[in-house]
Amino acid sequence: MLTFTDDGFKQDVYRDVGIKPDWAAEAFTDLEEDVVQSVRRIRQDPFIPHKDAIRGLVYDVTTGRLGEVKL
């Protein structure tokens, strides 16, 4: 599952276990954009003092390679 929607995820859980979650799964449809958003959120966090080494990576399940997401 590389990308998913909240509704699709909840339906899959319901189909598998018979209970539909009432919480948000924080779905995303664009893997790289989601990583960019996560990196930006971490860089903006005032509780993280050292921000110079924060990077975002995507693991390619087909090739087994890691690719850095450029901001």
pLDDT digits (tens, 9 = 90+) for 3-60: 778 888 899 999 999 999 888 888 788 999 999 999 999 999 999 999 889 999 999 9
Predicted model pTM? 0.68
The SS3 call for residue 11 is helix
**What are phi and psi for residue 64, nearest 5 degrees?**
80, 15
- State how far the Cα of 71 lies from the Cα of 56, in Å rounded to an integer: 9
**Residue 1 pLDDT exceeds 70:** no
Q: How far is CA 35 from the centre of its chain?
A: 6
Measured in whole angstroms, how far is the alpha carbon of residue 49 from the centre of its chain? 23
Max alpha carbon distance in the chain (Å)?
Answer: 45
Tokens of 20: 């539909």
